[in-house]
């Protein structure tokens, strides 16, 4: 642990970068990078190989090997031992929900807050008994942070939360650095993210074929083979799979796109940081009509377009409209960048967490 006079924050989640890369991992990194002048940060997580501690730039990463995975949740005895023995060394614990294994530590005497990233979506045989634990964990939190007002109302455990604060997410430093640049290319539509069922990429592919537009799919995952078979069955050369790419190439591809499409049909898509990345590049966004942060970021015909979830025709109409109207794309893209500058910057994100940390720590001392 870094030794100095700064107050110490412990972030807790099942994984972290660079062990894995994803939305929660990005959020933790962004909190650290925007508040590290005021706080020392440690990240506690699990990993698949061996226990290790490393200093990663501005924070310390503590990882413990897991023994097994139950319903996509790593189980690590070292992880629990560390929390039992070391939680008192921190001024505040910041849990990142959902990860049921961490909820067992609701009795810790160290004050804690929770960022509620998304609901725990499992079978009722898991979620029903888990409610007992989640209730105690969320009720004892000094504050539960939601990333959007819509998701705060939608979340399945909202009735257990006593104190709530809304802190929208932000883009990476690399992305925000592009906000003054001019990207005029409109070569294709683009999707960036994992290939999971709730991402509803089948609807996007069928709509792209219907609208006869060029589409680039960036990423990979569990339904990738199924999607490639779908494209092959329509014998189209206008839909291309870019695979998993570097951050540099991702921004290159985004910068040349006409618009970003995020077609998820479930509120599992609670926010969508890639929408903010598109905003920093001045690109319009297209999303389904969800009760989540995606439709707080995206306002229909203001900075993007919204279609009816899982509706191929609804999405195809929007894709055709954007394909045939450069002025519309420019207007929506400009407003998207303006909205980011007003509501989602890294400074706003860091200041909001800084004030919350100070408030909770000062109230508890």
- What single string gives the DSSP state of each residue in 232-292? HHTT-SSEEEEES--HHHHHHHHHTEEEEEE---STT----HHHHHHHHTT--EEEE--SS
Q: Do 134 and 41 share a structural domain? A: yes
Q: Is the pTM of this model over 0.75?
A: yes
Range of the domain at 190: 173-343
User: Is the bond preceding 18 in cis, omega lying within 30 degrees of 0?
Assistant: yes
Q: Do 49 and 76 share a structural domain? A: yes
Looking at residue 240, which CATH number applies to its domain? 3.40.50.2000
Q: Do 26 and 14 share a structural domain? A: yes
Q: Do 100 and 46 share a structural domain? A: yes
189, 215, 253, 278, 346 from 256: Cα distances, Å: 9, 12, 5, 11, 24
Q: Do 358 and 254 share a structural domain? A: no
Q: Is residue 264 part of a domain?
A: yes
Distance CA 255, CA 198 (A): 26
Which distant-in-sequence residues (6+ apart) come within 8 Å of 156 by Cβ? 119, 120, 127
Total number of residues shown for the chain: 365
Residue reference for tokens 């209730």: 135
Q: Is residue 1 part of a domain?
A: no
Q: Is residue 2 part of a domain?
A: no
Q: Do 119 and 22 share a structural domain? A: yes
Q: Do 99 and 197 share a structural domain? A: no
Q: Is residue 357 part of a domain?
A: yes
**Full pLDDT tens readout for the chain, 365 residues:** 444 679 999 999 999 999 988 889 999 999 999 999 999 999 999 999 899 999 977 799 999 999 999 878 899 999 999 999 999 999 999 999 999 999 999 999 999 999 999 887 655 656 677 788 889 999 999 999 999 999 999 888 889 899 999 999 999 999 999 999 999 999 999 999 999 999 999 999 999 999 999 999 999 999 999 999 999 999 999 999 999 999 899 999 999 999 999 999 998 898 999 999 999 999 999 999 999 999 999 999 999 999 999 999 999 999 999 999 999 999 999 999 999 999 999 999 999 999 999 999 987 65
């Amino acid at each position: 642990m870094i030794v100095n006079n700064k107050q110490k924050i412990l972030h807790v989640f099942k994984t972290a970068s660079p062990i894995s890369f994803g939305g929660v991992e990005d959020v933790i990194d962004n909190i650290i990078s925007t508040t590290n002048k005021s706080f020392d940060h440690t990240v506690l997580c699990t990993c698949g190989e061996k226990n290790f501690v490393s200093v990663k730039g501005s924070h310390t990463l503590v990882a413990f090997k897991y023994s097994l995975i139950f319903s996509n949740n790593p189980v690590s005895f070292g992880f629990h031992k560390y929390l039992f023995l070391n939680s008192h060394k921190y001024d505040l614990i910041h849990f990142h929900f959902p990860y049921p294994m961490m909820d067992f530590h609701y009795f810790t005497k160290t004050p804690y807050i929770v960022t509620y990233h998304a609901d725990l979506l499992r079978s009722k045989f898991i979620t029903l008994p888990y409610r007992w634990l989640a209730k105690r964990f969320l009720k004892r939190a000094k504050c539960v942070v939601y990333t959007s007002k819509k998701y705060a109302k939608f979340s399945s455990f909202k009735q257990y939360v006593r104190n709530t604060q809304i802190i929208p997410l932000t883009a990476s430093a690399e992305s925000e650095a592009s906000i003054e640049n001019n990207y005029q290319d409109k070569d294709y539509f683009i999707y960036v993210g994992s290939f999971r069922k709730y991402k509803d990429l089948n609807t996007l592919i069928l709509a792209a074929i219907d609208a006869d537009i060029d589409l680039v799919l960036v990423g990979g995952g569990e339904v990738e083979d199924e999607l490639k078979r779908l494209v092959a069955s329509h014998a189209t050369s206008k839909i291309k799979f870019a695979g998993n790419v570097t951050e540099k190439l991702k921004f290159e591809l985004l910068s040349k796109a006409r618009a970003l499409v995020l077609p998820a049909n479930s509120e599992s898509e609670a926010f969508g940081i890639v929408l903010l990345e598109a905003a920093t590049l001045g690109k319009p966004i297209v999303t389904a009509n969800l009760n989540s942060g995606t439709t707080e970021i995206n306002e229909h015909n203001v900075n993007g377009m919204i279609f009816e979830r899982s509706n191929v025709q609804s999405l195809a109409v929007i894709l055709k409209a954007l394909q045939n109207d450069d002025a519309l794309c420019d207007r929506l893209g400009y407003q998207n960048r303006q909205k980011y500058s007003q509501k989602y910057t890294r400074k706003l994100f860091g200041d909001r967490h800084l004030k919350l940390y100070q408030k909770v720590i000062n109230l508890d001392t």
